[in-house]
Chains A and B, each alone.
Chain A
Amino acid sequence: MIKNKINYSGRQYVIIAAFVAVALIIAVKLFSIQVLDDKYKRSSENNTLRHITQYPARGKVYDRNGRLVVFNDAVYDLMIIPGLARDIDTCSFCKLLDINNETYNKLYDKARKYSWVTPSVFISQISKEEYGHIAEMMYHYPGFYFQTRSLRQYPEAIAAHTFGSIGEVGRRDIEEDGYYKSGDYIGRSGIERSYERELRGSKGMKIVVVDVHNREKERFMDGRYDTLPEHGKDIILGLDSGLQAYGEFLMRGKTGSIVAIEPATGQILAMVSAPSYDPNELVGRQRSANYSRLLNDTLKPLVNRAISGTYPPGSTFKMINGLIAVQSGVISSVTEYPCDGPESAPIKCTHHHHSPVRLHDAIENSCNPYFWQAFRDMLGAARFEDTRDAYEFWYRLVTSFGLGTAFRTDIPYTVSGNIPTADFYDKLYRGNWNALTVRSLSIGQGEILVTPLQLANIAAAIGNEGFFYTPHYIRAFADGTPIDTAFTQKNVIDIEQRHFKDVKRGMQSVFEGDHGTARLSRIDSIPVGGKTGTAENPHGPDHSIFMGFAPVENPQIAIAVVVENAGFGSTWAAPIASLMMEKFIRGDIRRPWVEKRVLTDNPENEK
Chain B
Amino acid sequence: MRSKNIIGKFDIWLLLIYLALVTVGLLSIYAAAHNDNHPAIYDLSQNYGKQLLFIGISLVVGYLILLVDAKFFNTFAYVFYALSIFLLILVLLVGSKISGSTSWIQLGPLSFQPSEFAKFGTALAIAHFLGKIDTDTRKRKTQVSAYCIVMLPMLLVMAQGDAGSALVFLTFLLVLYREGMGGKLLITGVIAVILFVLTLCFSKWYVMAGAAVIYGILLWLMDRTKKNIIIVSTILVAAIAFIFSVDFAFHHILKPHQQTRINIILGLEQDTRGVGYNLNQSKIAIGSGGFLGKGYLQGTMTKYNYVPEQHTDFIFCTIGEESGFVGCFALICLYLALMLRIIVLAERQRSPFSRIYGYGIACIFFFHFAINIGMTIGLVPVIGIPLPFLSYGGSSLLMFTMMIFVFLKQDANRMNIL
Contacts and interface: CB of A to CB of B under 8 A. Distances in A.
B288 A44 contact: yes
Contacts of B133: 2
B335 to A, nearest CB: 7
Main secondary structure of the interface of B (DSSP, over half): helix
A48 to B, nearest CB: 4
Given A12-B343, A34-B290, A20 B217 contact: yes
Contacts of A44: 284-285, 287-288, 300-301, 321
Interface residues of B, number: 62
Interface in A8-59: 8-27, 29-31, 33-35, 37, 39-41, 43-45, 47-49
A528 B165 CA distance: 101
A40 B291 contact: no
B343 A27 contact: no
Contact of A212 (B177, B288, B304): B304
B138 to A, nearest CB: 8
B178 A26 contact: no
A47 B177 contact: no
A26 B370 CA distance: 8
A27 B183 CA distance: 27
Contacts of A19: 336, 339-340, 343, 362, 366
A475 B237 CA distance: 86
A6 B180 CA distance: 8
B178 A12 contact: yes
A603 B320 CA distance: 82
Contact of A26 (B272, B305, B332): B332
B244 interface: no
B24 to A, nearest CB: 16
B269 interface: no
A383 interface: no
B358 to A, nearest CB: 11
A37 B287 contact: yes
B379 A25 contact: yes
B284 A47 contact: yes
A450 B343 CA distance: 100
A5 interface: yes
A87 B138 CA distance: 55
B172 to A, nearest CB: 12
A49 B306 CA distance: 12
A34 B370 contact: no
A27 B332 CA distance: 7
Contacts of A18: 174, 190
Contacts of A11: 177-178, 180, 183
Contacts of B20: none
Nearest to A37: B287
A211 B304 contact: yes
A30 B273 contact: no
A285 interface: no
Nearest to A43: B284
Given A34-B289, A48-B304, A20 B336 contact: yes
B242 interface: no
Interface string A65-87: 00000000000000000010011
B178 A8 contact: yes
Interface in B363-416: 363, 366, 370, 373-374, 377-379
A210 interface: yes
Contacts of B374: 26
B136 A4 contact: yes
Nearest to B374: A26
A217 interface: yes
Contacts of B285: 44
Interface stretch (B11-19, B71-79, B323-331): B323-331
A209 interface: yes
Nearest to B179: A8
Nearest to A211: B304
Nearest to B280: A43
Given A26-B377, A211-B304, A43 B288 contact: yes
Given A12-B178, A15-B174, A23-B332, A209 B325 contact: no
Contact of A8 (B180, B221, B320, B332): B180
A12 B222 CA distance: 11
B288 A40 contact: yes
Interface of B: 133, 136, 138, 174, 177-180, 183, 187, 190, 198, 210, 213-214, 217-218, 221-222, 272-273, 277, 281, 283-291, 300-301, 303-306, 320-321, 324-325, 328-329, 332-333, 335-336, 339-340, 343, 347, 359, 362-363, 366, 370, 373-374, 377-379
22 contacts: A4-B136, A6-B180, A8-B180, A11-B183, A12-B343, A13-B222, A14-B177, A15-B363, A19-B339, A21-B217, A22-B370, A23-B336, A25-B198, A25-B379, A34-B286, A37-B287, A39-B287, A40-B286, A47-B284, A48-B301, A87-B273, A212-B304
Which 4 A-B pairs give the minimum distances between C-beta atoms?
A40-B287, A44-B288, A211-B304, A86-B273
Interface of A: 2, 4-6, 8-27, 29-31, 33-35, 37, 39-41, 43-45, 47-49, 83, 86-87, 209-213, 217
